[in-house]
Amino acid sequence: MAKKISVYVSEEMHRSIKAAASLRGKSLSGFMVDAATIALHNPDRKAAASRMDRLRASVKTEVTLEEILQMKEEGRRF
* Identity of the residue numbered 60: K
Domain ranges of the chain: 8-42, 44-78
Cβ-based neighbours of 78, under 8 Å, separated by 6 or more: 71
pLDDT of 25 reads 96
Q: What tens digit of pLDDT does each residue of 9-53 get?
A: 999 999 999 999 999 999 999 999 999 998 888 878 888 888 888
Sign of the Cα pseudo-torsion (54, 60, 66, 67, in order) = negative
